[in-house]
Amino acid sequence: MSIKHFKDYPLSEEILRALSDLGYKNPTEVQSEVLPVALEKKDLVVRSQTGSGKTASFGIPICEMVEWEENKPQALILTPTRELAAQVKEDITNIGRFKRIKAAAVYGKSPFHRQKLELKQKTHVVVGTPGRVLDHIEKGTLTLDCLKYLVIDEADEMLNMGFIDQVESIIQELPKDRVTFTFSATLPEDVENLCYKYMKAPVDIEIEATGITTDKIDHVLIEVKDEAKFSLLKDMTTVENPDSCIIFCRTKERVDTLCEQLDERGYPVDKIHGGMIQEARFEVMDDFKRGEFRYLVATDVAARGIDVESISHVINYDIPLEKESYVHRTGRTGRAGQSGKAITFITPFEEKFLHEIEEYIGFAIAKIHSPSKEKVLEKKAEFERKLDANPSIKKDKSTELNKEIMKLYFNGGKKKKIRAVDFVGTIAKIEGVSADDIGIISIQEIHSYVDILNGKGPLVLNAMKHTTVKGKLLKVHEAKK
Ligand code: AMP
């Protein structure tokens, strides 16, 4: 355990304040290894699992190093999935909140023109999936001349998903004078080659596989025939009575069927898989994060990088066919120092997959028996009570942080030649308000949005009703979103 504090690193007050508000007391292991090297702007190859605080390990130095004054994107973060892109954007926004860092997420199946408009505004950090990023580069809607930092997140997954050529094409378009960080759970040859081809003497950091966290996650295995799986699942969930549980199936058809079966039996359940439209996927994840329902049935789409606090149980209804996938699935529980349980169902002909997994994680998973009838009966009443209980809605981390923030709408923007500094200059002069109370400013063609921090929103709103910006009195009200 590292005893270093964030304040021991050369980080600005704004970043330290955001970390403290996020509840990050000390750097995690990966952060204490990565931060000093990254802040010296050296290239890095990091082997580390998700759940180790990896996102902040690059998010903190990036937020620290980008220059607020520059309008064009300075950092590009590539992620394999759209969910991860959205989440990394949120993490960057949270870390960079007081420095007013603007991050944009660009990914497929979401309107191109809206992303184009967003990229036209001041944007410090762009997070995206390779296909859509390449699309923006080719259409000239993502400017690269000020790009200084590139992060390739979950590089091995990029390879698995067939994105590695697109990643290479993107790299070829970027300025050579840049810093590159690559993060990967494992380092397959193709990823390694890519690193050494395009990076400058990268510092190699390997964090022992803390994502597997043998001490924090209790791994167990149960033998079962396929036709008996559903009955076993009912018994297991009755006995375990989890607060929050992800159940993984191999295909989207199996997810659909299982979700329906559980729903019919009154489980608070929903599902996520690649066959659903993106909005629905985001909605389901948001509801699950907030605790609206307790059981999420999923394919591996949900296994990577997605950060949901306090998932107590992961059940592999179908054993994963790829060993890496076992680590990612089970890594959904036991996150950020909490404990969890990973239960895997295995049918008679799946021993081969189990051996590969065990060899990969370096230990044998304990076999347990199905719960006895008596045990299931004993736990039934408590289980049913929880099924009927209203969900206790968790507060989302960002919502907590946003509590003190009011977004103001102004009916003037670029067309009226208004710039961010004009808002800062005007608002900071209001009595009782300082520049520190101003958050992210977004100037669009005919309107603008300004975040007011520290609960000063109503004060600024009132004052701005009769205060001019650059000699113009603008209409102002609280923004709807
Ligand atoms: P990640 O590996 O980036 O998916 O992060 C896993 C979880 O750890 C996330 O919920 C982070 O918000 C949380 N986290 C990251 N850094 C810290 C820290 N220094 N202290 C406490 N929690 C952290």
pLDDT digits (tens, 9 = 90+) for 164-180: 999 999 999 999 999 99
In this prediction, residue 305 carries a pLDDT of: 54
**CATH number for the domain running over 404-478:** 3.30.70.330
Q: Could you read off the pLDDT of 342-384 as tens digits, one per residue? A: 999 999 989 999 999 998 888 889 999 999 999 999 999 999 9
Cβ within 8 Å of residue 411, ≥6 positions away: 446, 447, 474, 475, 476
Q: Where exactly are the structural domains of the chain?
A: 6-206, 217-388, 404-478
**pLDDT given for residue 338 in this prediction:** 67
What is the reported pLDDT for 481? 57
**What amino acid occupies position 300?**
D
How many Å lie between the centroid of ligand 1 and the Cα of residue 339? 14
- The answer to whether the CB of 401 is under 6 A from ligand 1 is no
Q: For the chain, count helices (H), then strands (E).
A: 18, 18
Give the model's pLDDT for residue 212.
47
Q: Which of 335, 395, 396 for a ligand 1 pocket mutation test, highest count of atoms within 8 Å of Cβ?
A: 335
Mean pLDDT along residues 143-171 = 93
Percent of the chain whose predicted confidence (pLDDT) is above 70: 93
Most confidently modeled of 40-44, 273-277, 325-329, 449-453? 40-44
3-class secondary structure, 269: strand
Q: Which of 28, 50, 57, 95 to mutate to test the pocket of ligand 1 (most atoms within 8 A of CB)?
A: 28
Q: Is residue 96 over pLDDT 70?
A: yes
Q: Which of 114-128, 312-326, 392-406 has the lowest mean pLDDT?
A: 392-406
Strand order in the sheet with 203-206: 103-106, 125-128, 75-78, 149-152, 179-184, 44-47, 203-206
pLDDT in tens, 250-289: 999 999 999 999 999 999 999 999 888 877 888 898 889 8
Closest ligand 1 atom to 309 CA: 10
pLDDT of 177 reads 95
Choose between 217 and 448: higher pLDDT.
448
59 lines ligand 1 (CB under 6 A): no
* Superfamily (CATH H level) for 217-388: P-loop containing nucleotide triphosphate hydrolases (3.40.50.300)
CB of 54 within 6 A of ligand 1: the answer is yes
Task: Say which residue, 318 or 194, is predicted with more confidence.
Answer: 318
pTM of structure: 0.74
What ligand 1 atom has the least distance to the C-alpha of 25? Answer: 20
User: What pLDDT score does 1 carry?
Assistant: 44
d(C-alpha 481, C-alpha 464), whole Å: 19
Same fold, 6-206 and 217-388: yes
State which CATH number among 1.10.3330.10, 3.40.50.300, 3.30.70.260, 3.40.50.720 fits the domain covering 6-206: 3.40.50.300
* Tens-digit pLDDT profile for residues 311-348: 889 999 999 998 888 888 887 877 655 678 999 999 99
